[in-house]
Amino acid sequence: MDFFEAQARAKKQTTRLVGLFALAVAGTIAAGYVAAVLVLGQATGGPGRSGPAGEPSLWQPELLATVILGTFAVVGLASLSKWMTLRAGGPAVAEMVGGRRANPQTTDLRERQLLNVVEEMAIASGVPLPAVYLLDDEPGLNAFAAGLGTSDAVVAVTRGALEKLTRDELQAVVGHEFSHILNGDMRLNLRLTALLFGILVIALIGRGVLRGMGRPRGRSGSNKNTGGAVAVLLAIGLALMFVGYVGYFFGRLIQAAVSRQREYLADASAVQFTRNPDGIVGALRKIGGSALGSSISAQHAVEIRHFFFAQGFRSSFNGLFATHPPLVERIRAVDASFDGKFFAPETVVAVRRESFQTAGFTRHPGSGAAAAAFAAVPNVPPPLPPPVRLAFTPATLVGTIGNPSPAHVEAARRILERLPPGLHAAALDPTQAPALVLGLVLSADPAVRTRQIEGVASGAGAGTARILSDLDPGLRQLGGDGRLPLLQLALPALAQHGPAAIDRLVTTLDELVHADQRVSVFEYALQKVLIHHLALYRRPAGPAVTLHRLAAAAEPVALVLSTLAWQGSRGGAAAQAAFAAGADGLDGRPGRLTLRAPQDCSLDRLDAALEQLTRASGAIKRDLLTAAGRVVTADGQVTVEETELLRAIAAVLDCPLPPVL
């Protein structure tokens, strides 16, 4: 799976879908026009509305213009209204269908297992931790991901899936949903929902007219006049219902056809992430053998039927409206030897029979009630396989973007295992997360550290300073590979704060970073990732693409590569060689870009360059990151600072880069 190809395919599908829905709207207009001609022909025989033989004229330009404007007004306003609701991001979608946000401090073992599986996949993928929602009232086995991008994504799981899937099966389902997050499917799903709702509203108006006619009314006017008005209203209501449902019918066909194809890719990605086809096969077989299957009962869930892991509603018209392929076909696409037999799941999977690691728990569940709840679970984890180190090449680097391997999942498990328990819990707690993030930039120099802690008390408050003091022992033990993952885990908790609190956090963080009169690569990377993703939480849609050619982005590209070249080299000749290694391969035209002087590569200018490149096309971002990989490998050595800066650059460009192994 290529991340950039998947993103490009999603954009092409969006364009194609808009065109197809435009055709559906055109068909709706045509049907509405014919219905309007017939209704008016029956209601009146006035001038301009009938032909020579007294029959309705099929060509009435003024009426056609009215129908066109009316249809566009209704469909456009309804779609816009639905889009404004959905563009609030994944949490709005999850709450619309009755989702409850999972408590990170939960003592429920199954919820804790789900949270840890999602944490593993987030760290392995290099994306902010999605918010986890539970559909407590849904006994069917299902799940979905929703959002406009990686920053506002949510993963929602039904109670049935939580209770009846094993850890491996749950991981496969979560991996399937992460594929939708990484491939750009979520934004496409939201647009589909808004467009389809716009067409449906016409039918809903017609149904409302008919319902209104059924209400008792007082007697007024002659029976003849009343009967004529009722007949006209009846005709209008029936016409609107017919026209609306005709457009909705074809819109549903388009929606279902696109959704079915994406499910095969997500299943394949889940297998690729976990290297365990039995997980996805087991989950699908349980759905087929369960009495409730993957059914969903929430009132508004029908609007997002194409979001779900499996078919949540009965499909009519012989499967034409099915948003998912048949279970047998999905299973055989993964396991060609499948015999077609399903099996009924256990009533409840006994999580307590599993060890911490097979259940998906970290070794340190925290303290207090959570620790007491986990005490009954046997802590005899099997040894993890030896760590895997992948060859660091530009091709490998770009290939892992949005495409984590099982080695990255194992690395994520190791990172979670090594995190001090207090820091892990703090990252998930909205009260403690700000103090944790501030603590990540505390200096090792005692004098500077003292000034920084005093700055926290004055800038973020005494309460935050006290929390930071409690976290300080764990921060001193924290390894370098745990710093950015902790930020990934903390982002959803930070996003729950209001704009004023976030601005205060960002200001205080900047003061701590500059307390020693220098900015390290990690400090810069942390600030960039934090500010970028918190901005996307506020406005999930992100910037529009305006840079489509490398020539238009030459200046910011040159500055980014120059900054990397000076960062990783010891002298001018080495910097020039590193820069040339990256720049000469861009677009196959050597000498097109030139190395910028060190004084021109300030962090402020790098900020401005990255801000411009957020509006670049996927092809430009791919070429830039490939060139960046060539720059940092030019001297045959890759430092931790270089990988952190690379990950920060990729994050700002919305190209999720997994941990560098």
Query: Which of 152, 161, 158 is CA-nearest to residue 181?
Result: 152
How many whole angstroms from its chain centre is CA 656? 12
Phi, psi of 434 (to 5 degrees): -60, -40
Distance, CA of 61 to CA of 501 (rounded, Å): 58
Task: Quote the tokens at residue 405.
Answer: 């391997």
User: What 3-state DSSP class applies to 616?
Assistant: strand
CB count, 10 Å around CB of 245?
20
CB count, 10 Å around CB of 410?
19
Distance, CA of 274 to CA of 485 (rounded, Å): 19
Question: Considering 111, 138, 177, 354, which one is annotated as catalytic?
Answer: 177
Task: Quote the tokens at residue 177.
Answer: 């949903």
CB 526 within 8 A of CB 510: no
CB 540 within 8 A of CB 149: yes
Task: Quote the tokens at residue 188.
Answer: 């496409």
The 8 Å CB, 24+ separation contacts for 56-64 are 58/34, 63/33, 63/36, 63/37, 64/33
Query: Which of 505, 503, 495 is CA-nearest to residue 464?
Result: 505
Query: Which of 444, 389, 382, 447 is CA-nearest to residue 417?
Result: 382
Q: How many helices (H) and strands (E) does the chain have?
A: 26, 4
Q: CA dist 576 to 299, 392, 573, 590, 610, Å?
A: 62, 21, 5, 13, 21
User: In the beta sheet, which residues pair with residue 146?
Assistant: 154
Residues sharing a CB contact under 8 Å with residue 255, sequence separation 6 or more, in sequence order = 192, 196, 306, 323
Residues counted in the chain: 661
Distance, CA of 90 to CA of 96 (rounded, Å): 10
Which residue bears the tokens 């297998």?
271
Residues sharing a CB contact under 8 Å with residue 218, sequence separation 6 or more, in sequence order = none
Residues sharing a CB contact under 8 Å with residue 353, sequence separation 6 or more, in sequence order = none
Task: Quote the tokens at residue 202.
Answer: 């016409």
Known catalytic membership, residue 177: yes
How many whole angstroms from its chain centre is CA 228? 53
Cα dihedral 218, 222, 225, 230, rounded to 10, equals 30
CB count, 10 Å around CB of 161?
30
User: In the beta sheet, which residues pair with residue 273?
Assistant: none
Rg (CA), the chain: 29
Query: Which of 91, 307, 95 is CA-nearest to residue 190?
Result: 307
Largest CA distance in the chain: 99
Task: Quote the tokens at residue 27.
Answer: 């068909």
Angle between helices 618-632 and 554-568 (to 10 degrees): 20
User: What 3-state DSSP class applies to 214?
Assistant: coil
User: In the beta sheet, which residues pair with residue 155?
Assistant: 132, 145
Q: Write out the catalytic residue numbers.
A: 177
